[in-house]
Amino acid sequence: MKVSCEKEKLNNLIQTALRAVSARVTMPILSGVLLSAQNNTLSVCGTDLELTIKASSEARVEKEGSAVASGKLIGEIVKNLPEGDIQIESEEKTLTISSDPGVFSIKIMSPEDFPAVPDWEGEEAFTVSAREFQTAVSQTSRASSNDDKRPVLTGSLVEKNAKDGKIRIVATDSYRLAWKEFEATGNVAAWEDCIIPTKSLVEVARIASGHEADIQARIHERQAMFKVENSTVRSRLIEGQFPQYRQLVPKGEKIVVRGVKGDLVAAIKRALILGHNLRLSIGDGSLTIRAETPDIGESSETISVEVQGGEMEVGFNGFYLVDGISAVEGEEVEIGLDDPQKPGIIKAPDDQSYTYILMPMRLR
């Protein structure tokens, strides 16, 4: 293999592929990235077996071929090289990376040992704008769980509504649940509802950031596949049953609080300084947020809001509350409450596409 590529482009390829390379690997080959040069294209691929990312770009290919080298090393080298053309050449046992002043030779591993690289296969399913997808992932991913003991909750449910041509992403950690629905084009009916690791969706959104392009998605052999311009992401699916979440949605809340998003978030963040179990007292046209930590101190702040329905005192984890409210698009937020022991619902007024459902905390 002999190929040359501009530094900035090459660096992007490698950094993108490295997102899938884990710091601690079970097999040495997984610490490497696969470089392949073919048809005037250079592609770099990294994987941890769950998530595989292949990034490609045009390059001057003098000799086709492939090689696997330590992702960490090649990443460091390329990142630190000066602007300009970088030439990569593989020999039997080494990979030589040279730019004008310097030459680096590093050991390579056998490309045959590298896991299969994703090809863009399978039946066409939906296509969504990168911006739309990114918004949906950022609105939902924080509600996802990090607890490996409940693997299903570390993923997001991606389900179709073929009738309306819509896709919904749902995430929950069992204390809160968020969903976002967006318009999709293409053959939405071909999508199979599945649970995709939230980490994979975040990576797809990250790769798409800065692109105006579309994201194409499909399922192939029980793997989710995404394509953003020249990058392909393949993710394993999480097996298991996602919680039956539709029944949680309160059917008409007793109390509806409507306020300015920025004011609410700022007040909650201030309260969080003195404790994260917040006590919310909803009165006539006002919301009082109290925090208290024994031996440390307490705080209380009242902001004016629009209240329909009556009075209530309810406890919430302040961090969860901030996550839910700040993800609302637009200036206004609506909080629906039914009972201090039943879920509250956060959304933008007159917009059903984003919904955040949060369980209260028991007050003492």
Closest to another protein by CB, 49 or 249: 249
| Among 25, 117, 162, 359, interactor with another protein by CB under 8 A | 359
Per-residue binding letters, 161-190, with another protein (x by CB under 8 A): -----------x-xxxx-------------
Give the nearer residue to another protein in terms of CB position, either 244 or 352.
244
> By C-beta, is 171 or 219 nearer to another protein?
171
CB 245 to another protein: min, Å: 8
Q: Which residue has the tokens 């993108």?
A: 16
How many CB atoms within 10 Å of residue 272? 19
For another protein, the closer of residues 24 and 93 by Cβ is 24
Tell me which residues in 65-124 interact with another protein (CB under 8 A).
none
Interface segment toward another protein; rule CB under 8 A; list 65-73, 120-128, 200-208, 356-364: 356-364
56 touches another protein by CB under 8 A: no
Nearer to another protein, 106 or 359 (CB): 359
Q: How far is the CB of 363 from another protein (least distance, A)?
A: 8
Q: Is 240 in the site for another protein (CB under 8 A)?
A: no
Q: Does 291 bind another protein (CB under 8 A)?
A: no
Nearer to another protein, 303 or 359 (CB): 359
Q: Is 145 an interacting residue with respect to another protein (CB under 8 A)?
A: yes
Q: Would you say 70 or 144 has its CB closer to another protein?
A: 144
Please identify which residue in 317, 334, 336, 346 interacts with another protein, judged by CB under 8 A: 317
**360 is a site residue for another protein (CB under 8 A):** yes
User: 210 burial class (0-12, 13-18, 19+ CB within 10 angstroms)?
Assistant: exposed
Residue 341 DSSP class: T
Cross-strand partners of 61: 3
Work out whether 246 is an interface residue with another protein (CB under 8 A): no
Which residues touch 62 (CB under 8 Å, ≥6 apart)? 2, 3, 4
In 221-263, where do the E strands start and end?
Answer: 223-228, 231-236, 255-260
Determine if 277 is a binding residue for another protein (CB under 8 A). yes
Give the C-alpha separation, 42 to 36, whole Å: 6
Q: Among 308, 277, 304, 305, which Cα is nearest to 290's?
A: 277
Indicate the residue type of 227: K
DSSP 246: G
Position among 21, 204, 225, 357 found at the interface with another protein (CB under 8 A)? 357
Within a 13 Å sphere around the CA of 307, how many CA atoms are in the beta-carbon half? 17
CA dist 18 and 78 (Å) reads 13
Q: What is the DSSP string of 112-166?
A: GGSPPPPPS-S---EEEEHHHHHHHHHHHGGGS---TTSGGGGEEEEEEETTTTE
> Can residue 250 be called a binding residue for another protein (CB under 8 A)?
no
Residue written as tokens 């390579």?
Answer: 108
Contact 235, 197 (CB under 8 A): yes
Binding of another protein by 361 (CB under 8 A): yes
Binding site for another protein (CB under 8 A): 145-147, 149-150, 172, 174-177, 243-245, 248, 275, 277, 293-295, 315, 317, 341, 343, 357, 359-362, 364
